[in-house]
């Protein structure tokens, strides 16, 4: 299976009553199977832009093509079922078990029961939650990090051609986060899903991406491969955002001298 291409053409979005666009004139061609990270400070429009793709944010200008078809002409529900989505606040259904949450889209797509069961276990193992212990829990019986992992499992369960992930690892400690980053790269390589991954962690954005998109106040500052971002930041904003952490650098050089 291969991923979808996603093209943003002069995309703008403005919330009702806002005095300016949340995102403005975004042009971006995401190739089939590509892994894009969207990085930038809080409020710069990352979530807004991500949600334009599954039509949760309406456009006020421009268009988005999914495999060459304008999403405005597609059925919004069909679009959402075909795209995996993991959100910042996990969005698990509180009345459903972990297994039922992960099975939501496969069930809607009417996969055979046995296949759904097997897939739920496979996904739980992938995000390092023991199926026997976790399948029948409710979201309120999970830690923040465990809930996020279930959210990721749910987004991936139906092998979507496109995957939208909004800071899915935000609540995880550095070690689990690192492991899941490595796993995620492997999973999307296997499934071929085109992925747009939002983070405000610059290291995470560099580690995961084929190309990094740097957003600032609703516009794109730079689109480039990770090495290019570091070697040739396009603007002072990008240079500043990706500047080495001075405290760590200073401590490291102090440590090497002592
Ligand atoms: N539902 C809404 N109604 C009105 N304004 C909104 C709404 N959601 C977001 N905004 C505004 O749109 C801008 C972009 O918000 P967005 O949530 O896309 O930022 P973000 O980059 O995802 O930030 P964070 O890193 O904090 O999640 C902000 O100025 C925000 O205040
Ligand atoms: Mg956000």
The Cα-based distances of 26 to 52, 59, 220 in angstroms read: 11, 11, 7
Q: Is 107 domain-assigned?
A: no
Nearest to 40 by CA among 27, 57, 23, 56: 23
Q: Decide whether any atom of ligand 1 lies within 6 Å of the 18 Cβ.
A: yes
Q: Decide whether any atom of ligand 1 lies within 6 Å of the 144 Cβ.
A: no
Q: Could you identify the atom of ligand 1 that is nearest to the CA of residue 48?
A: 18
User: Who wins on pLDDT, 173 or 30?
Assistant: 30
Q: Binning pLDDT at 50, 70 and 90, where does residue 255 land?
A: confident
Q: Is 121 domain-assigned?
A: no
What's the whole-number mean pLDDT along residues 190-214? 93
The residue whose CA has the least distance to atom 3 of ligand 1 is: 15
Q: Tell me 154's DSSP state.
A: H
**Whether pLDDT at 245 is above 70:** yes
Structure pTM? 0.91
Q: Is 153 domain-assigned?
A: no
Q: Is 170 domain-assigned?
A: yes
**Whether pLDDT at 213 is above 90:** yes
Q: Decide whether any atom of ligand 1 lies within 6 Å of the 14 Cβ.
A: no
pLDDT at residue 177 in the model? 86
pLDDT at residue 42 in the model? 92
User: Who wins on pLDDT, 12 or 146?
Assistant: 12
Sign of the C-alpha dihedral computed for residues 146, 164, 236 and 225 taken in this order: positive
Range in 26-35, 67-76, 83-92 the model is least confident about: 83-92
For residues 250 and 95, what is the distance between their CA atoms, to the nearest angstrom?
50
Domain count, the chain: 1
Q: Is 132 domain-assigned?
A: no
Mean pLDDT of the chain: 91
The 10s digit of each residue's pLDDT in 130-188 is 999 999 999 999 988 889 889 989 999 988 889 999 998 887 888 888 888 888 888 88
Q: Is 209 domain-assigned?
A: yes
**Whether pLDDT at 248 is above 80:** no
Beta strands in the chain (DSSP E): 6-13, 23-30, 35-39, 61-66, 69-70, 83-86, 162-166, 194-199, 211-216, 219-224
State CA 59 to chain mean position distance.
Answer: 20
The residue whose CA has the least distance to atom 29 of ligand 1 is: 43
pLDDT at residue 252 in the model? 73
**Whether pLDDT at 1 is above 70:** no
In this structure, the number of other CB atoms found within 10 A of the CB of residue 246 comes to: 8
User: Who wins on pLDDT, 14 or 252?
Assistant: 14
Residues with CB under 5 Å of ion ligand 2 are 47
What's the whole-number mean pLDDT along residues 72-98? 88
Answer whether 57's CB lies under 8 Å from 48's CB.
yes
Ligand (nearest to CA of 38):
1
Nearest to 180 by CA among 167, 164, 193, 196: 167
Q: Decide whether any atom of ligand 1 lies within 6 Å of the 22 Cβ.
A: yes
In this structure, the number of other CB atoms found within 10 A of the CB of residue 241 comes to: 20
Q: Decide whether any atom of ligand 1 lies within 6 Å of the 48 Cβ.
A: yes
Q: Is 114 domain-assigned?
A: no
Quote the ligand 1 centre to 206 CA distance (angstroms): 23
CATH code assigned at 251: 3.40.50.300
Q: How many helices (DSSP H) and strands (DSSP E) are in the chain?
A: 12, 10
Q: Is 242 domain-assigned?
A: yes
pLDDT over 70, % of the chain: 99
Q: Decide whether any atom of ligand 1 lies within 6 Å of the 47 Cβ.
A: yes
| Domain range for 243 | 6-92+160-257
């Amino acid at each position: 299976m291969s991923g979808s291409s996603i093209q943003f053409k002069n995309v703008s979005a403005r919330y009702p009553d806002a005095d300016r666009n949340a995102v403005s004139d975004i042009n971006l061609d995401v190739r089939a199977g590509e892994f894009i990270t969207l990085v930038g400070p809080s409020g710069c429009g990352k979530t807004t832009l991500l949600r334009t793709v599954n039509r949760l944010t309406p456009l006020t200008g421009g268009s988005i093509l999914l495999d060459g078809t304008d999403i405005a002409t597609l059925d919004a529900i069909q679009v959402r079922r075909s795209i995996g989505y993991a959100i910042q606040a996990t969005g698990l259904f509180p009345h459903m078990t972990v297994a039922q949450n992960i099975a939501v889209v496969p069930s809607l797509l009417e996969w055979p029961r046995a296949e759904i069961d097997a897939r739920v276990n496979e996904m739980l193992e992938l995000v390092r939650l023991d199926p026997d212990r976790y399948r029948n829990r409710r979201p309120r019986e999970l830690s923040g990090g465990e809930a996020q992992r279930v959210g990721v499992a749910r987004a991936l369960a139906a092998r979507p051609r496109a995957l939208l992930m909004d800071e899915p690892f935000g609540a995880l400690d550095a070690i689990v986060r690192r492991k899941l980053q490595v796993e995620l790269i492997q999973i999307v390589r296997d499934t071929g899903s085109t992925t747009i991954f939002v983070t405000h962690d610059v290291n995470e954005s560099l580690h995961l991406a084929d190309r990094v998109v740097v957003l600032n106040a609703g516009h794109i500052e730079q689109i480039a491969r990770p090495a290019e971002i570091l070697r040739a930041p396009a603007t002072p904003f990008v240079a500043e955002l990706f500047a080495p952490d001075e405290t760590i650098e200073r401590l490291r050089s102090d440590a090497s001298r002592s």
